[in-house]
Structure 1
Amino acid sequence: MRRRLAVAVALVLLTATASVPLGLPAAPLAVRIAYEIEGRGIVYSWGGGHSEDPGPSKGTCRGYRGKIKPCPAARTRGLDCSGFTRWVYALAHGEDVLGPGNTDDHVRKMRRVSSPRPGDLVFFGKITKRSVKTHHVGLYLGDGKMMNAPETGAVVRIDEVSRKKDFAGFYRY
């Protein structure tokens, strides 16, 4: 798995710098990788990105509550929100630092920050000292924007952080 991950990182790095908008000349590696992934038009798939290795995979219909019926996830190769951030962080860190869990599992591996930097993760839901119940995550790009896999029928894209309800905070690995 490490060898495949290293090859994937090398390929992404070769093309990522050409994909980053001109306003981000010194963007963190995670942000450069995210822009490369966004340029591929990868579709949302509930549960996608949670195979043994990070990256696009077929999703699952277990727990699916999306708008498109019947559930297309089991036949759609793509990423859900936590699958997207897991893959970006795996490529940026050279190993699967977030693991195959969901947003609740991922936020527990990070620390909350009050001043976000590009490359931090932005979580939505409710996070207290006693419980974590999140429902969405995106990669913070700066200027109030995030890249995310938002919903069934969409592709990985850039959205305003304020577009989603239940902002829970910015987190750093």
Structure 2
Amino acid sequence: MKRRIGCGTLLLAALATPVLLVVMMSVLPTPAAPALQTVGQVAGIPQRMLTAYHNAVTRLPKEVPSCRGMRWAVLAGIARIESDHANGRTISDRGDITPRILGPVLDGSGAGGNHTAFPDTDGGHWDGTATSERAVGPFQFLPSTWTGSGRDANDDKLADPHNADDAALGAAVYLCGNGRNLADRTQLRSAIFQYNRSTAYVDDVLGWIDRYSQMATGTLPIGQPATGDARTVIAAALAQTGVPYSWGGGNANGPSRGICCSPSGKSGTNITGFDCSGLTTYAYAQVGIRLPRTADRQADIGTRIPASLGPGALRPGDLVFFAYDPDNDSTIHHVGIYLGDGKMINAPRPGTAVRTEPLWDHGFAGGARPL
């Protein structure tokens, strides 16, 4: 029988959740790659795809001079929903993606939830079917739409929706229309809705845009600086920086020996320290708030902050959660304390210590405000 313990994880292999890191680095131009001077690294986005997003933003003013507010995060938000950034595919230096990313055939049969037939417009050149249409490439263009929006962004004299650079620039052109200000939230929503006429789709894309842009730029709106009890909670947690991770360790009184061994073997009853929910329990105890022991139950305390609001809704001192399924609180497996500027303090995992780091990109499940 599986038993909940520590951070609220099941006694399964302790998997290291990817962390969104932004490290500015030089990208050496080659005959095949865009000559960008700096491109960040973002967990979950292949470097070559991120380069394509940056390249599209750089080239866009020549294509749609009246468009304003385009950012790489806007393109990343679209591509995250449409193809998960072509993850699992091979992306060449020239940006060519293999195998091709093909959506369901839109022949009206209902396959893939489609009940509307789209007549063929490309003779199967891009989508492999000469009897109907289907969306293609990392940005899932219909061939008919690509005819108007497609651009050659890698200077090979071909506008190819299966090429990362071309597709990203084509998506940027399409989102801009005749000239939008995408820094305006209303116009950004309209552009995304035009891309896919679904309010749920718009909300999903905006959520990813907010995560990428806020976490990566370090300009997350944090509201008022931490004061009062929030400052006390944060100070208490920061004072534990460097204390070892201990599976099941930590309580309202401070670090303690772990109550079990972690599956990785890096934590056990011989280590005095904190696990993630042990650290938050201790920090909040310093202001008289008694939290439940596991991360998933801590999500029930105070005001719940839905993941759909994005990290921008968090304030310093809030609990911040991560889950296997962000829409299901019972799958929450990690908790930290939000510091502002897209950062948190937490006890990450066995083999580490209490530390400050960027919010994790994967599994963000919102927060809670016990104060």
TM-score calculated relative to the size of structure 2:
0.34
- Of residues 137, 142, 145 in structure 1, which corresponds to 2:340? 142
- Of residues 79, 101, 106 in structure 1, which corresponds to 2:298? 106
Equivalenced residue count is 137
CA–CA distance in structure 2, aligned partners of residues 72 and 81 of structure 1: 13
CA 1:131–1:94 in 2, change beyond 3 Å: closer, same or farther?
closer
CA–CA distance in structure 1, aligned partners of residues 331 and 356 of structure 2: 24
CA–CA distance in structure 2, aligned partners of residues 118 and 72 of structure 1: 29
| Structure 2 residue runs without a partner (length 5+) | 1-224
1:33 is paired with a residue of what secondary structure? helix
Partner of 1:60: 259
CA 1:33–1:105 in 2, change beyond 3 Å: closer, same or farther?
same
Is residue 49–residue 79 contact of structure 1 (8 Å, CA) maintained in 2?
yes
Is residue 320–residue 335 contact of structure 2 (8 Å, CA) maintained in 1?
yes
- Of residues 248, 268, 278 in structure 2, which corresponds to 1:47? 248
Partner of 1:10: none
Partner of 2:192: none
Of structures 1 and 2, the one scoring higher in RCO (CA 8 A, sep 6+) is 1
1:73 is paired with a residue of what secondary structure? coil
CA 1:90–1:25 in 2, change beyond 3 Å: closer, same or farther?
closer
Structure number with greater Rg is 2
Partner of 1:166: 363
Q: List 4+ stretches of structure 1 deviating above 3 A.
A: 24-27
**Greater strand share, structure number:** 1
- Of residues 89, 93, 96 in structure 1, which corresponds to 2:284? 89
Percent identity of equivalent pairs? 40
Is residue 54–residue 83 contact of structure 1 (8 Å, CA) maintained in 2?
no
Partner of 2:98: none
2:320 is paired with a residue of what secondary structure? strand
Is residue 253–residue 282 contact of structure 2 (8 Å, CA) maintained in 1?
yes
2:277 is paired with a residue of what secondary structure? helix
- Alignment of 1:124 onto 2:328: no
CA–CA distance in structure 1, aligned partners of residues 294 and 358 of structure 2: 22
Amino acid at match of 1:57: S
TM-score calculated relative to the size of structure 1:
0.70
1:55 is paired with a residue of what secondary structure? coil
CA–CA distance in structure 1, aligned partners of residues 368 and 226 of structure 2: 23
CA–CA distance in structure 2, aligned partners of residues 81 and 46 of structure 1: 9
CA–CA distance in structure 1, aligned partners of residues 226 and 314 of structure 2: 18
CA 1:131–1:75 in 2, change beyond 3 Å: closer, same or farther?
same
Q: State the Cα distance separating 1:28 from its structure 2 match.
A: 1.8
Is residue 44–residue 154 contact of structure 1 (8 Å, CA) maintained in 2?
yes
Is residue 275–residue 348 contact of structure 2 (8 Å, CA) maintained in 1?
yes
CA 1:29–1:152 in 2, change beyond 3 Å: closer, same or farther?
same
RMSD over aligned Cα, in angstroms? 2.2
CA–CA distance in structure 1, aligned partners of residues 299 and 316 of structure 2: 17
Is residue 104–residue 133 contact of structure 1 (8 Å, CA) maintained in 2?
yes
| Structure 1 residue runs without a partner (length 5+) | 1-23
